[in-house]
Structure 1
Amino acid sequence: MSIAAEAIRLEALARSRAPEDREHLLDALVDLCANADPAELTGAPQIQALLQAVFMSLVAEAERDIRRRLAEKIAPVAWAPAGLVNVLALDEIEIAGPVIAESPVLKDHDLIRLLVESTLEHQIAVARRGSLSATVVEAILQQDEPAVLTALACNDTAEISQSGMVRLVETARRQAALRSPLARHPRLSSDLAQRLYVWVGQSLRAALISRFRLDPMELDAALASAVRDAHAAVEGGEIRLDTDAEQLEQERRLIGKLAEAGQLRPGYLLRALRERRLPLFVFALATLGKFEVDHIQRAIDSDRPELLALACAAVGIDRSVFPAILDTVRELNGGHPGGGDEGARKAANAFGPYAPDIAGAAFRQTASSF
Structure 2
Amino acid sequence: MSSESLLDLAKSRQPADRERLLLAIADLCDAPHAGEAMKSASIQALLSSIFMSLVVEAERDIRCRLSHKLAAADWAPNALVNVLALDDIEIARPIIALSPVLKDLDLIRLLVEATIEHQVEVARRPNLPAKVVSAILEQAEPAVMSALAANPTAELSPTDMAELVEASRRIAAMHSPLSEHPRLTGQLAKRLYLWVGLALRKGLADRFRLDVAILDESLAAAVVEAHGAAPAPEAEPEIRTTRDGERELMEQRLIDKLHSAGQLRPGYLIRALREGRLGLFAGALAVLGRFETAQVQATLDSDRPELLALACAAVGIDRSVFPDILDMVRDLNSGRPGGGAEGARKASVAFAPVSPEVAGAAFRQAARSLATV
| TM-score, scaled to structure 1 | 0.62
Aligned to 2:12: 15
Per mean C-alpha deviation after superposition, the further-off stretch among 68-77 and 215-224 is 215-224
Give 1 or 2 for the bigger CA radius of gyration: 1
C-alpha displacement of 1:15: 3.1
Q: Deviations over 1:3-54 (max 9, x none)?
A: 5xx84587358637355x544422322444655574675596x864542222
Q: Structure 1 pair 283/10, CA: closer, same or farther in 2 (3 Å)?
A: closer
Q: Structure 1 pair 174/54, CA: closer, same or farther in 2 (3 Å)?
A: same
Letter in 1 for 2:315: L
Quote the Cα distance in structure 2 between the aligned partners of 1:250 and 1:112.
30
Runs (5+) with no aligned partner, structure 1: 236-247, 253-265, 276-280, 289-310, 328-370
Q: Deviations over 1:237-271 (max 9, x none)?
A: xxxxxxxxxxx79969xxxxxxxxxxxxx99x879
How do residues 78-157 of structure 1 correspond to structure 2 at under 5 angstroms?
Answer: 78-157=74-153
Aligned to 1:196: 192
1:168 aligned onto 2:164: yes
Quote the Cα distance in structure 1 between the aligned partners of 2:160 and 2:314.
29
Per mean C-alpha deviation after superposition, the further-off stretch among 54-63 and 179-188 is 54-63
- Which 4+ residue blocks in structure 1 deviate beyond 6 angstroms? 281-284
What SS does the aligned partner of 1:96 have? Answer: helix
C-alpha displacement of 1:180: 0.6
Q: Structure 1 pair 144/177, CA: closer, same or farther in 2 (3 Å)?
A: same
Match of 1:319 among 357, 364, 367: 364
Answer whether contact 2:124 2:147 (CA < 8 A) is retained.
yes
Match of 2:222 among 210, 221, 226: 226
What SS does the aligned partner of 1:232 have? Answer: coil
Quote the Cα distance in structure 2 between the aligned partners of 1:249 and 1:114.
29
Quote the Cα distance in structure 1 between the aligned partners of 2:185 and 2:156.
12
Letter in 1 for 2:69: K
Q: Which has the higher contact order (CA 8 A, sep 6+)?
A: 2
Answer whether contact 1:145 1:250 (CA < 8 A) is retained.
no
User: RMSD of the alignment, in Å?
Assistant: 3.8
C-alpha displacement of 1:190: 0.5
Identical aligned residues as a percent? 52
C-alpha displacement of 1:194: 0.4
Letter in 2 for 1:174: R
Answer whether contact 1:97 1:122 (CA < 8 A) is retained.
yes
Letter in 1 for 2:51: F
Runs (5+) with no aligned partner, structure 2: 232-266, 272-284, 290-295, 302-310, 319-354
| TM-score, scaled to structure 2 | 0.61
Quote the Cα distance in structure 2 between the aligned partners of 1:41 and 1:145.
39
